[in-house]
Amino acid sequence: MTSRITRRQFARAGAAASLAAALPRGVFAAPAPNRKVLIRADSEIGLVRPEFHSHFAEHLGSCVYGGIWVGPKSPIENVEGFRKAAVDYLKELGVPALRWPGGCYADDYHWRDGIGPAAKRPKRVNIHWGNYVEDSSFGTHEFIRFCRLIGAEPYFAANVGSGSPEEMRDWIEYCNFPAGSALADERAANGSPEPFRVKYWGVGNEAWGCGGNFRPDGAGAEFRRFASYARTFGDTKPYLVGCGPSGNDTKWTRGFMDALAGSRLPGGYSMHFYENGSLPPLEFTPQAAMEQLNIFRRVESAIVEQRTLLDGYDPNRKIGLFLDEWGVWDRIPKADQDRYGALWQQSTMRSAVAAGLGLNIFNRQADKLYMCNIAQMVNVLQSVLLTDGPEGRNCVRTTTYYAFLLFKPHRGKTAVPVEGGVAPAMEGAALTGNPEAIHRLPPPKPDLSISASRSASELVVSLVNPSAGDDMDVECELRGARARQGRAQIIYDSDLNAHNSFDDPGRVIIRAHEVAVEPDKIRIMLPAMSLATVTVEVE
């Protein structure tokens, strides 16, 4: 899986040559590092919930049909109709939770279309994503089966925009009531006597837009109405997720939450934040990359501000904040979409850096978040897998896949603060998450992004260099832990548009990287546009 990246390779790549020459033997006698941070292993932020690394799959382009689901009669290798390569790769990655069926699609989806004998299911027009016709062969049972195969917790998005409280209530009963009711017995007759025990229920999607074009108070009122009938069936209490804003829309959150006064609060509250790019995925310039990567500062301040707002309504912080759609959204060439499906987007070295910036934020704001879902799982936007269209046999792991894999060791650990390391104006802002300080920032310039987490015996540090031109030589001082030994892994390519294609699926992968570890210090060199994780045994 991993191969070693040598100093020679860096030197060949050019950009990193000077620093590579300085490291690693006798590293602390080498020229002074150009970034210094303090890792506070003696302090805690909160649990890095595995759910921060969750996913989202919508009926859109070739994400579900052709990506995940090829059908049992397909010539493409499959497990009960699910693309085998996708199942294998996703199992290896580990998918804590999976949101489905949308997205915009959710508010035009009627779950009854997707149950019963496949041949009898109705053909439906997907009005949001190009009016193509779906045969409804991927429905509730298929989704649950897929979740079980890859080990993911299912997270449904119910239809509010064109649906009814009755429809959502019945879907919950169908999934969760053990036996003896007409709906539970219908589920059993459809092949699943055991209840699905689905916990997570999104009450609509993007209620401010494709989910019904509500105003915030109207969306709050809808939540109240739908929640009244969303009951515990059997032993599964539904965890309802209310529709929050796009980005950091504070008016939306105030309006929505005010409308809930005196009624049941949601279990979770979801926001969406895409990082738009101005160029096609394979044509990014350093300038365009910088502009896109800088959006992540706003993601972090949005999380902090939305959490603060929610805390005003819910001082005991019971409501979980979800970022259930995020990721880079580039200018996708029409030719790619015509060939492979709507919103089919390649992931590049830049996308991996973007993923690293997001995942670092989630660690740093671990106490404020509950679940985050990258958009989307296969073929659409910042996906972890790409196929060559719905009929294509090829399935590659994207650079984003490897970025998620690189961060996997953080799951379940306790996030700890990291101080310093960024341009002076950012200090106390990004690292502490102080929104006031973030708003006073000078015009952005991407700088080192870092997060750390620990268990009793291991410290994990992830570092991202989002600069397209500057290498970073980082010294991490440790407080509260003594390092015994460590290893580093990196994702790096000297071309910011490098990607894993069907011809060259292993171009951008995780490789071993040199790191110097002393009892109280770690030192690592990060070439421009790279991300690395250092895993250290500590006492």
Residues that bind ligand AHR (CB under 6 A): 58, 102-104, 205-206, 325, 375-376, 381
How far is Cα 325 from Cα 64, in angstroms, rounded to an integer? 16
In angstroms, the Cα distances linking 354 to 404, 420, 428 are 11, 21, 22
How far is Cα 281 from Cα 287, in angstroms, rounded to an integer? 14
Strand 239-246 vs strand 200-203: parallel, antiparallel, or unpaired?
Answer: parallel
Instruction: Pick the closer one to ligand AHR by CB: 343 or 422.
Output: 343
Nearest distance from C-beta of residue 447 to ligand AHR, angstroms: 29
380, 477, 352: which is closest to 61 by C-alpha? 380
Catalytic pick among 206, 300, 305, 514: 206
Half-sphere exposure of 527 (CA within 13 A, CB side): 27
Chain position carrying tokens 């996913």: 55
3-state secondary structure 462-520: EEEECCCCCCEEEEEEEECCCEEEEEEEEEECCCCCCECCCCCCCCCCCEEECCEEECC
Query: By three-state DSSP, how is residue 209 classified?
Result: coil
- What value, to the nearest 5°, has the Cα angle with vertex 376 and ends 372 and 378? 135
The C-alpha R_g of the chain, in whole angstroms, comes to 23
Instruction: Pick the closer one to ligand AHR by CB: 20 or 381.
Output: 381
Nearest distance from C-beta of residue 244 to ligand AHR, angstroms: 12
342, 348, 306: which is closest to 328 by C-alpha? 348
Nearest distance from C-beta of residue 346 to ligand AHR, angstroms: 16
Instruction: Pick the closer one to ligand AHR by CB: 37 or 271.
Output: 271
Nearest distance from C-beta of residue 256 to ligand AHR, angstroms: 16
Query: What is the separation, in whole angstroms, between the first and last Cα of the chain?
Result: 29
Instruction: Pick the closer one to ligand AHR by CB: 244 or 421.
Output: 244
Nearest distance from C-beta of residue 381 to ligand AHR, angstroms: 6
Asked whether the beta carbons of 164 and 202 are under 8 A apart, the reply is no
Instruction: Pick the closer one to ligand AHR by CB: 259 or 271.
Output: 271
Buried b (16+ CB within 10 A) or exposed e, 162-188: ebebebbbbbbbbbbbbeeeebbeebe
Q: How would you class 477 by CB atoms within 10 Å of its CB: exposed for 0-12, middle for 13-18, buried for 19 or more?
A: middle
Torsional class of 379: left (φ above 0), alpha (ψ -120 to 50), beta (otherwise): left
Instruction: Pick the closer one to ligand AHR by CB: 375 or 525.
Output: 375
Catalytic pick among 173, 275, 300, 325: 325
Nearest distance from C-beta of residue 58 to ligand AHR, angstroms: 5
> Among all residues, whose Cβ is closest to ligand AHR?
103
Nearest distance from C-beta of residue 205 to ligand AHR, angstroms: 5
3-state secondary structure 343-387: CECCCEHHHHHHHHHHHHHHHHCCCCCCEEEEECCECECCCCEEE
Nearest distance from C-beta of residue 450 to ligand AHR, angstroms: 29
- Give the Cβ contact number of residue 485 at 10 Å: 9
Residue 537 a catalytic site member: no
How far is Cα 334 from Cα 340, in angstroms, rounded to an integer? 10
Instruction: Pick the closer one to ligand AHR by CB: 105 or 284.
Output: 105
Residue 173 a catalytic site member: no
Instruction: Pick the closer one to ligand AHR by CB: 106 or 468.
Output: 106
Which sequence positions are flagged as catalytic? 206, 325
